[in-house]
């Protein structure tokens, strides 16, 4: 039996006007965890869709050999019948169906007369859940589970199909550290059971931790395959292969030029939209100055996104109390339009649902939040709109043939640049960025960091919410910590470490807070914004 379970030779895939893959070669050894790295748009997901039959035989050139035989998959059903299962970044689960129903959807356990045997289905589902270490009732609706558990259900679904080759596309992109570690542990377990795994990921630390070998793809071509046990297989080497150049630093250098306070949030309290009396944000206060990047760190469920959304037009929950000050003057932001008029902008963490209209073109997405600037007497000036979109395409290096391209066809990094363009066009004084680099590659991340530096160099105030502590430490001037809806500390970045931030992020909720005490490392206080922190 061959040592390789999969061989892909000279795979070429073209779309109208774009060659997504150009002679890609890939070899996967039996029983290994094989990582595939590359920038957004490099062709990683396209290659996996070719393999799994999403792009059927005849729509691409090249040869696929699986288990020593040439295969020609006409659909994803054909590849699954051979034990190849792909789990996409956007999970294919039905929230209103139970865990068991999702696991066996399209592959139902049937009894006599062809009817579904639900007792058997639930029993088999329970066995699969136990195998992946998930202690959930199989009858639980999938929508009641967190995204980490949903990811595990997808793996249980793959195991129900007697998977031999499991493909995971960005499996930890939306997971917290604990869920990510659980998932990586499960992949190690599957490897021990003889199941081969292909993982596509931008998280190089995870790849270094779990992968046996890594193949790098750049601009639709194979660059090299690296044995991760080689001492020279460093993250810097992977980055160099991905972007085609050395990145001397993950974070561009910036000399802070801080001005006066721009935004101050005082005693901000937000009630849960459906649970009366539950405080999602409880007396939070913070400030940000012109030319400053302020970070907000917190574990999943701490209230980071809820804080941002409630400030930006009260798009989450019911605000019970609190004040917003812009340049020392109290403002109201009772709607998104009012927030924009007052100089606030918010780039959501979920760009595909809330940040962009994926079926519309780049041009319309860029001008969507500032249509009044390209309109006269209620009519949009199409030529002016096209000019504005083209300027942002060039200025932010958005990789698209034309601004008339559908934004849903762009890579994640370029979609994120469209989101930033949309909000920069409103000329905000304060820009809140919620997970601005989630799901994008290291090269695109660097470009986003450069854009943030340009924003603050122009005198804007920027607030960055991120789950990645190294990112906050690399780009921020100050970092606030949030735990259970309460601000628990703030640190200048020169004094902050991942350990000190994690300590503050895991503080228990204090019973009482002294409004007169400034917020410093290790001390909880209610009003953080009254201190003028450089």
**Mean pLDDT, the chain, whole residue set:** 87
Q: Are residues 161 and 281 in the same domain?
A: no
In a domain, 356, yes or no: no
Q: Are residues 311 and 456 in the same domain?
A: yes
pLDDT digits (tens, 9 = 90+) for 161-192: 889 999 998 888 767 777 788 888 889 999 99
Q: Are residues 237 and 276 in the same domain?
A: no
In a domain, 350, yes or no: no
Q: Are residues 33 and 51 in the same domain?
A: yes
Residue 246: predicted pLDDT:
60
Q: Are residues 72 and 197 in the same domain?
A: yes
In a domain, 257, yes or no: yes
In a domain, 477, yes or no: yes
In a domain, 482, yes or no: yes
How many CB atoms are closer than 10 A to CB 530? Answer: 15
Q: Average of pLDDT values for 56-66?
A: 95
Looking at the chain, the whole-number percentage of residues with pLDDT higher than 70 is 93
Residue 48: predicted pLDDT:
92
Token pair 């020392």: residue: 328
Q: Are residues 294 and 221 in the same domain?
A: no
Residue 508: predicted pLDDT:
64
pLDDT over threshold 70, residue 506:
yes
Which tokens in the block code for residue 193? 């059971």
Regarding predicted confidence, which is higher, 469 or 89?
A: 469
Domain boundaries, position 238: 4-243
Q: Are residues 133 and 258 in the same domain?
A: no
Residue 278: predicted pLDDT:
85
pLDDT over threshold 50, residue 516:
no
In a domain, 502, yes or no: yes
Q: Are residues 125 and 208 in the same domain?
A: yes
Report the interhelical angle of 235-243 vs 442-457 (nearest 10°).
80
Q: Are residues 291 and 207 in the same domain?
A: no
**Helix (DSSP H) and strand (DSSP E) numbers for the chain:** 16, 22
Beta-bridge partner residues of 324: 265, 331
Q: Average of pLDDT values for 429-434?
A: 95
Q: Average of pLDDT values for 44-61?
A: 92
pLDDT digits (tens, 9 = 90+) for 463-479: 999 988 889 999 999 99
Residue 512: predicted pLDDT:
36
Regarding predicted confidence, which is higher, 194 or 243?
A: 194
State which of 243, 259, 280 marks the end of a domain. 243
Q: Is the torsion defined by CA of 168, 174, 177, 183 positive or negative? A: negative
> Could you tell me if 489 and 521 are in contact, meaning their C-beta atoms sit under 8 angstroms apart?
yes
Q: pTM (2 decimals)? A: 0.69
In a domain, 103, yes or no: yes
Q: Are residues 161 and 290 in the same domain?
A: no
CA-to-CA distance for 467 and 163, rounded, in angstroms? 32
Which tokens in the block code for residue 268? 């901000």
> Could you tell me if 331 and 324 are in contact, meaning their C-beta atoms sit under 8 angstroms apart?
yes
Q: Is the torsion defined by CA of 532, 513, 488, 463 positive or negative? A: negative
Q: Are residues 166 and 269 in the same domain?
A: no
State which of 193, 216, 243 marks the end of a domain. 243
State which of 243, 274, 297 marks the end of a domain. 243
Residue 262: predicted pLDDT:
96
Residue 527: predicted pLDDT:
35
Regarding predicted confidence, which is higher, 148 or 138?
A: 138
Residue 480 banded pLDDT, cuts 50, 70, 90: very high
Q: Average of pLDDT values for 398-403?
A: 89
pLDDT digits (tens, 9 = 90+) for 245-284: 665 678 888 988 899 999 999 999 999 887 778 889 999 9
Instruction: Give how many domains the chain has, as a whole number.
Output: 2
Looking at the chain, the whole-number percentage of residues with pLDDT higher than 90 is 53
Instruction: Find the CATH number of the domain harbouring 199.
Output: 3.40.50.300
In a domain, 27, yes or no: yes
pLDDT over threshold 90, residue 391:
yes
Q: Are residues 21 and 133 in the same domain?
A: yes
pLDDT digits (tens, 9 = 90+) for 486-495: 999 999 999 9
Element (H, E) at 262: strand 261-271
């Amino acid at each position: 039996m061959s040592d390789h379970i999969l061989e892909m030779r000279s795979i070429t895939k073209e779309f109208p006007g774009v060659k997504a893959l150009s002679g890609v070669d890939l070899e996967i050894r039996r029983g290994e965890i094989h990582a595939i790295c590359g920038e957004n748009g490099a062709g990683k997901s396209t290659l996996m869709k070719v393999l799994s039959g999403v792009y059927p035989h005849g729509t691409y050139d090249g040869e696929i050999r699986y288990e020593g035989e040439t295969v020609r998959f006409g659909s994803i059903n054909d590849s699954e019948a051979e034990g190849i299962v792909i789990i996409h970044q956007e999970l294919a689960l039905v929230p209103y169906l139970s865990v068991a129903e999702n696991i066996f959807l399209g592959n139902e356990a049937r009894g006599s007369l062809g009817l579904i045997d639900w007792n058997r289905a639930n029993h088999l589902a329970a066995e699969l859940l136990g195998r992946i270490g998930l202690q959930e009732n199989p009858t639980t609706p999938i929508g009641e589970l967190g995204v980490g558990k949903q990811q595990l259900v997808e793996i249980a679904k793959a195991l129900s199909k007697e998977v031999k080759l499991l493909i995971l596309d960005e499996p930890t992109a939306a997971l917290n550290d604990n869920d990510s570690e659980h998932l990586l542990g499960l992949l190690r377990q599957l490897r021990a059971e003889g199941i081969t795994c292909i993982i596509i990921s931008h998280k190089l630390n995870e790849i270094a931790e779990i992968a046996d070998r890594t193949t790098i793809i750049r601009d639709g071509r194979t660059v090299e395959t690296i044995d991760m046990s080689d001492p020279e297989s460093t993250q810097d080497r992977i980055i160099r292969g991905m972007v085609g150049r050395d990145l001397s630093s993950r974070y561009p250098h910036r000399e802070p030029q801080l001005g006066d306070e721009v935004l101050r949030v005082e005693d901000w309290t937000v009630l849960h939209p459906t649970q009366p009396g539950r405080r999602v944000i409880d007396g939070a206060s913070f400030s940000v100055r012109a030319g400053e990047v302020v970070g907000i760190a917190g574990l999943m469920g701490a209230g980071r996104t809820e804080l941002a959304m409630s400030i930006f037009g009260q798009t989450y929950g019911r605000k019970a109390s609190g004040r917003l000050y812009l340049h020392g003057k109290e403002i109201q932001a009772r709607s998104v339009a009012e927030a924009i008029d007052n100089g606030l902008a918010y780039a959501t963490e979920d760009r595909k649902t809330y940040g962009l209209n994926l079926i519309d073109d780049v041009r319309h997405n860029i001008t969507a939040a500032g249509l009044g600037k390209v309109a006269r007497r209620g009519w949009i000036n199409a030529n002016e709109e096209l000019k504005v979109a083209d300027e942002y395409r060039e200025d932010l290096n958005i990789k698209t043939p034309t601004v008339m391209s559908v934004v849903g066809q762009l890579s994640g990094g370029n979609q994120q640049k469209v989101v930033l363009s949309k909000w920069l066009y409103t000329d905000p004084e304060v820009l809140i960025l919620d997970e601005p680099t989630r799901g994008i590659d290291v090269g695109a991340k660097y470009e986003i960091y450069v854009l943030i530096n340009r924003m603050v160099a122009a005198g804007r105030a920027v607030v960055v919410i991120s789950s990645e502590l190294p990112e906050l430490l690399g780009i921020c001037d100050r970092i606030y910590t949030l735990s259970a809806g309460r601000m628990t500390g703030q640190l200048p970045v020169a004094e902050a470490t991942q350990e000190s931030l994690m300590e503050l992020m895991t503080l228990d909720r204090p019973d009482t807070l002294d409004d007169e005490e400034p917020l410093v490392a290790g001390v909880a206080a209610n009003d953080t914004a009254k201190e003028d922190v450089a």
